Structure 1
Amino acid sequence: MRTLIFATAIRILTPVFLVFSIYILLRGHNHPGGGFIGGLIGSIAFVFHTLAHGTKQTNKSYFNLTFYKFDKKPDHGKFRHALRLLRKNIVRNKNEKPVFIWNYYLLRLRPTYLMATGLLVAVFSGSVGLFTGKPFMAAYWLNAKIPLIGSLGTPLLFDTGVYLLVLGMVLKMVFTMSKD
């Protein structure tokens, strides 16, 4: 059951859930479970958005990145070129088509890609030790500390991989079960 109140609340709460999940990821790299719990919290945001708006709208809003490209370089200043494009895109008659065609490239981020990227990042973070002659999953830390994050190292990289893997797994399950 989709209601206006639920849809509006989820539109506001989705960024809050995502920021909190990133906070848990960064806070938890020195403590157990930062990547796993952060991935679950991040996936909860998308589960609620799917319940409120449907699978197609969630995919369109968060997992389709669109890049626009102009056909030709502007001859005049940017403002004059934008005005010329607007003038060309105005359709005066119903049968008349716009003269200027926008070219765009669509990049789809699928949950399977998130799982594969997360697994690749996690395995790479564990393999750093093998390249230096240490055991698998040996931790390496940078000397610099970043405020609010702490020190950076391979455990944070591993937790980021787990975060992406969990997020992709839950999203794949939810999108598969809620197909229209």
Structure 2
Amino acid sequence: MKTIILSTAIRLLTPLFQVFSIYILLRGHNHPGGGFIGGLIGAIAFVFDTLANGHESTEKTFFTLKVYQQPRKSGISYLQHYLQFIRMNIQRKKEAGQLDVQQQYCIQLRPVYLMALGLFIATISGTISLLLQQPFMTSQWPEFHIPVLGSPGTPLLFDLGVYLLVMGIILKIVFTLAKE
């Protein structure tokens, strides 16, 4: 169902859904909510965008990063080369004669990568306590405080892993179903 009204509404609501999902993720640190519900809300934004615009458009808009690279000139250091590389990617300007088609790369962020990263982060949050010679998944709290978050400990790290895992699973299911 591709309509102009739905497409425009989803374009405006997607950032709102993402901000709300991050709020729910951080709120679950001390109150009900957390990684699972935040991941579902975050995935809903992309589900609605897929319904409105199709999975190709959603993957191209939100999950593709274009990276431009220049060949390294002789006589400059690697640090200078990478600073130029970062500057060119931030500006995203194609100057005449500097960029060829072969020097533009697209990095595709697939839902499977989100699932793997989320599982890795959740596992790391549990193994931190093992490294400190305590039982697996024992909460660890640092001594410093961040103004909005408070004291971010391993439960927040675990919630972040669950957030990415849930979002990756939902997106994988939706993109697979949308392709058929």
TM-score by length of 2: 0.82
Measure the CA separation in 2 of the matches of 1:177 and 1:131: 42
Residue type of the alignment partner of 1:175:
F
Residue type of the alignment partner of 1:121:
I
Match of 2:127 in 1: 127
2:8 pairs with 1:8: yes
Match of 2:45 in 1: 45
Match of 2:89 in 1: none
Measure the CA separation in 2 of the matches of 1:32 and 1:85: 51
2:178 pairs with 1:156: no
Q: 2:95 aligns with which of 85, 96, 115?
A: 85
Instruction: Decide whether the 8 Å contact of 2:64 with 2:106 is kept in 1.
Output: yes
Residue type of the alignment partner of 1:122:
A
Instruction: Decide whether the 8 Å contact of 2:111 with 2:172 is kept in 1.
Output: yes
Deviations 1:76-99 (A, max 9, x none): xxxxxxx9934x59xxxxxxxxxx
Q: CA RMSD in A?
A: 2.1
Alignment size in residue pairs: 161
Deviations 1:141-167 (A, max 9, x none): 112221222211101100000000000
Describe the SS at the equivalent of 1:139.
coil
Describe the SS at the equivalent of 1:105.
strand
Deviations 1:46-93 (A, max 9, x none): 0000000000000000111111123466xxxxxxxxx9934x59xxxx
Match of 1:111 in 2: 111
Match of 1:101 in 2: 100
Describe the SS at the equivalent of 2:143.
strand
Q: Unpaired segments of 5 or more residues in structure 2?
A: 74-92
Measure the CA separation in 2 of the matches of 1:133 and 1:149: 27
Percent pairwise identity: 57
Measure the CA separation in 2 of the matches of 1:177 and 1:169: 12
Measure the CA separation in 2 of the matches of 1:107 and 1:65: 5
1:69 to 1:32, Cα distance in 2 relative to 1, 3 A = same
Q: Unpaired segments of 5 or more residues in structure 1?
A: 74-82, 90-99
Structure whose alpha-carbon radius of gyration is higher: 1
Q: CA deviation at 1:173?
A: 0.5
Measure the CA separation in 2 of the matches of 1:161 and 1:136: 16
Q: Which moved more, 1:46-55 or 1:149-158?
A: 149-158
Residue type of the alignment partner of 2:49:
H
Measure the CA separation in 1 of the matches of 2:157 and 2:168: 17
Describe the SS at the equivalent of 2:179.
coil
Aligned 1:56-95 pairs, distance under 5 A = 56-71=56-71, 85-86=95-96
Measure the CA separation in 2 of the matches of 1:147 and 1:5: 39
Residue type of the alignment partner of 1:23:
Y
Q: Which moved more, 1:47-56 or 1:20-29?
A: 20-29
Match of 1:80 in 2: none
Q: CA deviation at 1:31?
A: 2.9
